[in-house]
Amino acid sequence: MLGMIMIPLIMRTTEEVLQLVPNGYREAALALGISHWRAIVRIILRTALKGIVTGVLLALARVAGETAPLLFTAFGNRFWTHKLTEPVAALPLQIFNYAISPYDDWHRQAWAGALVLLLLITVINVSVRVLTRLVLGGMVCGSGSGEMAASLWFSRTTFPLESTEKRPIGPPTGLVRPNLPGG
């Protein structure tokens, strides 16, 4: 149920982040002869990766803290169940039930449950950020630094020319600069 709530949030965030990637990157990749799918995977997705990860984390945090759908669908089972047709245990629901109870011990357990939920979201957030940096090899991608990501990628990539020979991208070699007056 809660996974279904994440789908439109992630889709909309991903769509917005991908639209924020400048068209110049797409055009530059296609002008250099990169296929359309490779330009999407290597340049556009890498540039937008931090925004996409942030959108996924925000959706995950929203779903982890959702109590209202659980009040109407989970029915408050305190025990673990394996059947989808039976009531399910959920931490946000337990926090809610314990917080409205008249017992001080249950209030402490509600605060402990809220702390566990916050720690869980923090651990997920930090681990995804660390893994994102490891996957990108220390490259910083996202708004404002996409140019660096694209230039780093272009500087390390070779593209096949008309022959089977591969040459690195760079200025043409063997050209002689003319001597201009005053220079």
pLDDT band at 64 (very low <50, low <70, confident <90, very high): confident
Write the single-letter amino acid at 100. Answer: I
Global confidence as pTM: 0.54
| pLDDT value at 183 more than 90 | no
Query: Is 2-161 a CATH 1.10.3720.10 domain?
Result: yes
pLDDT of 80-118, one tens digit each? 777 777 777 778 888 888 999 999 999 999 999 999 988
Residue extents of the structural domains in the chain = 2-161
In terms of pLDDT, which residue wins out, 153 or 135? 135
In order, the DSSP letters of 118-183 are HHHHHHHHHHHHHHHHHHTTT---STTTHHHHHHHHHHH-EEE-SSS-EEESSSPSS------TT-
pLDDT of 4-43, one tens digit each? 878 888 999 999 999 999 999 989 999 999 999 999 988 8
Task: Note the pLDDT of residue 58.
Answer: 82
Residues 77/64, Cβ–Cβ less than 8 Å: no
Task: Note the pLDDT of residue 181.
Answer: 64
Task: Note the pLDDT of residue 176.
Answer: 53
pLDDT of 50-62, one tens digit each? 888 888 888 887 8
